[in-house]
A = this chain, B = another copy of it.
Amino acid sequence: MKNLKLAAMEDATRTVVNVAGVEVGNDLVVIAGPCSVESEEQTLATARAVKAAGADMLRGGAFKPRTSPYSFQGLGLRGLKILEQARQETGLPIVTEVIDPRDVSWVAEFADVLQIGTRNMQNFALLKEVGQAKKPVLLKRGMYSTLEEWLNCAEYILSEGNPDVILCERGIRTFESYTRNTLDLSAVPAIKELTHLPIIIDPTHSTGRLSLIGPMSLAAVAAGADGLIIEVHNNPAAALCDADQALTPDTFSEDMRKIRALKQFFETL
Seen from chain A, the residues whose Cβ lies within 8 Å of a Cβ on chain B are 2-3, 5, 65-71, 99-102, 119-120, 122-126, 142-144, 146-149, 152, 155-156, 159, 172-179, 182-186, 188-190, 193, 206-207, 209, 211-212, 214-216, 218-224, 258, 261-262, 265, 269
Is B186's CB under 8 angstroms from A182's CB?
Answer: yes
- With A182-B182, A211-B189, A222-B215 known as contacts, the answer to whether A174 contacts B177 (CB < 8 A) is no
Between A and B, 28 residue pairs with Cβ closer than 8 Å are A3-B67, A3-B70, A67-B148, A70-B155, A99-B124, A100-B125, A101-B101, A101-B125, A102-B102, A123-B123, A143-B144, A144-B175, A172-B174, A172-B182, A174-B175, A174-B184, A175-B175, A176-B184, A183-B186, A185-B185, A189-B216, A190-B209, A218-B223, A219-B223, A222-B222, A222-B223, A261-B265, A262-B265
Contact between A3 and B68, CB atoms less than 8 A apart: yes
By the criterion CB–CB under 8 Å, are A186 and B179 in contact? yes
Nearest opposing residue in chain B for A1, CB measure: B178
Would B146 and A144 count as touching, CB distance under 8 A? no
B219 contacts A185, C-beta separation under 8 Å: yes
Residue from A66, A179, A186, A216 whose CB has the most chain B CB atoms within 10 Å:
A186
Shortest CB distance A6–B (Å): 10
Once the chains bind, are A69 and B155 in contact (CB under 8 Å)? yes
A219's partner among B5, B120, B220 (CB-CB below 8 A) is B220
| A267 shortest CB reach to chain B, Å | 12
CA separation between A223 and B178, bound complex, in Å? 17
Residues of B within 8 A of A214 (CB): 189
Q: How far is the CB of A100 from chain B (nearest CB, A)?
A: 4
A99 to B221 Cα, complex, angstroms? 37
A123–B121 Cα distance when bound, in Å, is 10
10 nearest A-B residue pairs (beta carbon):
A144-B144, A222-B222, A100-B125, A119-B122, A3-B68, A219-B223, A189-B215, A218-B222, A219-B219, A219-B222
How far is A18 from B258 in the complex, measured between Cα atoms in Å? 30
Q: How many angstroms from the CA of A237 to the CA of B121 in the assembled complex?
A: 31
A157 to chain B, nearest CB (A): 9
Contacting residues, chain B, for A67 (C-beta < 8 A): 3, 122, 148-149, 152
